[in-house]
Structure 1
């Protein structure tokens, strides 16, 4: 009796696929940039008509979309015709939890080039972003506002995932003023304000960011409920509030800078104020986990790091924030709820 060959890839095949994972990143990023998912909302379309609409080479677009089948984005119901898969739906710009902006950001030069110097980061323990981009990543975004806008939108995408979990777990009704520190375009703060009509918001970020934030808040009908304040979280000037949000900020920085941020917020906060830190938490085990790769991402891009519970506890203790609870969420980030001690 013949046995069918196993369909499970061999270890060598699995390794080969992993080695070429950067191909998949660029396929997904290019599909996102072209906005192909939005053009397939109405159902399957042939690649030639899509190429004509997009103004791109028809043969090359067909090859891209055929590659997108392997990337999990498309199905092909007939010759040279493509439809979105459930995974591909996540690249639409009009769906909750869209990752289109994240795909564009991760395939931009700002992220792509530093990762090519990971070996240098491992040799030195420092981010190779200066060698890759000619400056730190924040200065790079200032010099390349298009990529800076991609980054801001990607943070908005991630805020959508985190925000639904935050408003599910935390009741903000007792807080008259909620301040989002380093809140970019206010995506996370907007979700809190929509869920709690009694709250007012404060959006605090660098001047070059807050200009775009004002337009975003107006488009959501929330501008009248939000005070937009420009400044740096490394310097005095953070506004007083009853609750503070700090999403994916601390992982951008090493401990000394993170301590400075937490102290600045503590100085501004009234007695009893709450600080909600939204970050990945490295689990206390040796099992595979996405936080391990994100930790490398922060090493490469910003001299930052992901942290364990104990490492977060050390930061909070040193800056007089008392940890009340840590809530894991389905978004991948945890909510670290602290109160001013």
Structure 2
């Protein structure tokens, strides 16, 4: 059970102190998933049922310790103990394989980065001050740190590509873009969203806009998907400008990274590039008001801890749009935790 699925009411006859005990220890599920992802356990098991001794030999793990970890994960549906000390993949565990579409292995490894984990250990600093614990611990902001550690930036982009596959499939099913002729994906990363769109819509052309260091990876992804003849990758900084000429501009899983002033700056740059026609599509979480569970309410704590942005409600998006020269048109939920938020020029 993930954190955002917890009910404020005790489950069944479980007393509140016991329920709280379970919640306090629920982070061990995440830590175990990160550890087995880093070891490559799902790759080692593959399509077989394997004894833990075999898995341990293939991954360089301690057999007894690995058994205890897999037994715990099997109890929550990640792996299954088919026979004593022999394990197979479940659908959840299969997402940790490196060789499957939408693999979540890099995302798990990214979530487990020590400098990221340490920041959540200092979450109290963010609650007391309203400022990122990451900056407090590392003496610099998230983006500066990544610019100085390119290997971590590469893993981050791979992790976001994993998320993109999940988000993209839901978005494509939720919103029709058949009338779009030229789409600009602002902060488009490795180009997974653009690749998916170009495969679905053969008349569309697109631009992936991201930092210059990301462009070569995006070009390689688009070439691998066979759509590079209809795609252009442009390096730049969306806080300064974005490419002109699109009839649709997309911000996917991006705007929540930035505070309101920077978000308005990004949106105004898009508004200038767009001209007086076209549409802006934001793909992001839109948490409901009140106690209703939603993943975005916990993603917002990630923003609080690591960055200066926040996950916004629909009303907060309406305000951002009005400050940026846009008018909110609609918000459409998807099967993922994200929604499609559409705005048009005022």
TM-score range normalised by the length of the shorter chain: over 0.9
Indicate the SS of the match to 2:214: helix
1:296 aligns with 2:309: no
Matches of 1:159 and 1:203 in 2, distance apart? 14
* Residues 63 and 144 of structure 1, relative CA distance in 2, 3 Å threshold: farther
1:190-238 deviation digits (Å, cap 9, x = unpaired): 1111110111110000112222222222222222221110000110343
Contact 2:175 2:340 in 1 (8 A): no
Indicate the SS of the match to 1:323: strand
Q: Post-superposition shift, 1:130? A: 1.4
Q: TM-score, normalised by structure 2?
A: 0.91
Q: Post-superposition shift, 1:163? A: 1.1
1:89 aligns with 2:94: yes
Aligned to 2:63: 58
Matches of 1:96 and 1:210 in 2, distance apart? 22
Indicate the SS of the match to 1:246: strand
Indicate the SS of the match to 1:272: coil
> RMSD between aligned alpha carbons?
1.9
Aligned to 1:195: 200
Higher mean C-alpha deviation, range 240-249 or range 109-118? 109-118
Contact 1:241 1:270 in 2 (8 A): no
Matches of 1:309 and 1:89 in 2, distance apart? 35
* Residues 340 and 128 of structure 1, relative CA distance in 2, 3 Å threshold: same
Aligned to 1:103: 108
Matches of 2:39 and 2:53 in 1, distance apart? 14
Q: TM-score, normalised by structure 1?
A: 0.92
* Residues 9 and 40 of structure 1, relative CA distance in 2, 3 Å threshold: farther
Matches of 2:158 and 2:76 in 1, distance apart? 23
Aligned to 2:81: 76
Matches of 1:20 and 1:237 in 2, distance apart? 45
Matches of 1:287 and 1:88 in 2, distance apart? 28
Mapping 1:33-44, distance limit 5 Å: 33-44=38-49
Aligned to 1:241: 246
1:300-327 deviation digits (Å, cap 9, x = unpaired): 1101111111110000011111222110
Q: 2:186 aligns with which of 181, 185, 203?
A: 181
Higher mean C-alpha deviation, range 286-295 or range 272-281? 286-295
Q: Post-superposition shift, 1:265? A: 0.6
Matches of 1:97 and 1:236 in 2, distance apart? 31
Q: Post-superposition shift, 1:147? A: 2.4
Matches of 1:153 and 1:285 in 2, distance apart? 34
Unpaired stretches in structure 1, ≥5 consecutive residues: 1-5
Q: Post-superposition shift, 1:116? A: 1.0
1:122 aligns with 2:124: no
Indicate the SS of the match to 1:244: strand
Aligned to 2:269: 264
1:167 aligns with 2:172: yes
Q: Post-superposition shift, 1:268? A: 0.8
Contact 1:251 1:279 in 2 (8 A): yes
Aligned to 2:220: 215
Indicate the SS of the match to 2:322: helix
Unpaired stretches in structure 2, ≥5 consecutive residues: 1-10
